[in-house]
């Protein structure tokens, strides 16, 4: 497994399917938008539910910061689809079911077979500008992420 991703690294490119089985490629946003990769452990869990609901509610703020938000977990596209519909989420969820992306970013927890709770901001040139890995039961703070995005303007 790769070392944990850090600020200044070139973000490993990837293509993952969203909840509608549409491919999403990280490098397709280069030169256009900053990308917030919100790695979270599991659909349907309490902390992840609250976090992703907050992301959806704050989406206009992320749009204003010229950023797109993707939730990423090792759950299937079908789980993502059901969870997104159930919560009425507005952002897309990417399925890393093969665990390749979380391993490439050094965010895989082998003994649990899931990824860590982590936020990675990739700027328009494909460089990692912000990384925060959190305790698995600690929710992230959207305001902190938005503040980091403001620095990129």
Exposed/middle/buried for 99, CB within 10 Å: 0-12, 13-18, 19+? middle
* Residue 111 counted as domain residue: yes
* Residue 96 counted as domain residue: yes
* Residue 8 counted as domain residue: no
Exposed/middle/buried for 6, CB within 10 Å: 0-12, 13-18, 19+? exposed
Active site residue 54: no
* Residue 143 counted as domain residue: no
Antiparallel, parallel or unpaired: β 92-95 and 67-73: parallel
* Residue 43 counted as domain residue: yes
Q: What is the pTM of this model?
A: 0.95
Q: Which of 36, 37, 47, 48 is catalytic?
A: 48
Residue 5, C-beta contacts closer than 8 angstroms, at least 6 positions apart: 11, 12, 105, 106, 107, 120, 128, 131
The CATH number covering residue 92 comes to 3.40.30.10
SS3 101: helix
21's tokens: 């089985």
* Residue 107 counted as domain residue: yes
Q: In the chain, how many domains are there?
A: 1
Cα–Cα distance measured from residue 91 to residue 31, given in angstroms and rounded to the nearest whole number: 20
Q: Which domain holds residue 88?
A: 15-137
* Residue 55 counted as domain residue: yes
In tens digits, the chain (153 residues) has pLDDT values of 689 999 999 999 999 999 999 999 999 999 999 999 999 999 998 888 888 888 888 999 999 999 999 999 999 999 999 999 999 999 999 999 999 999 999 999 999 999 999 999 999 999 999 999 998 888 888 999 999 999 997
């Amino acid at each position: 497994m790769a070392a944990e991703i850090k600020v200044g690294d070139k973000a490993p490119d990837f293509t993952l399917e969203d909840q509608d089985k549409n491919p999403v490629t990280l490098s397709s946003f280069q030169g256009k938008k900053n990308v917030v990769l919100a790695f979270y452990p599991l659909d349907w869990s309490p902390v992840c539910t609250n976090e992703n609901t907050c992301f959806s509610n704050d989406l206009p703020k992320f749009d204003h910061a010229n950023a797109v938000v993707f939730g990423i977990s090792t759950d299937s596209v079908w789980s993502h689809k059901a969870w997104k519909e159930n919560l009425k989420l507005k952002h897309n969820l990417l399925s890393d079911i093969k665990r390749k992306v979380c391993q490439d970013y050094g965010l895989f927890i082998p003994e649990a077979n899931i990824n860590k709770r982590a936020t990675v901001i990739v700027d328009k040139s494909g460089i990692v500008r912000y990384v925060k890995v959190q305790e698995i039961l600690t929710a992230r703070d959207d305001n902190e992420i938005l503040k980091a995005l403001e620095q990129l303007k």
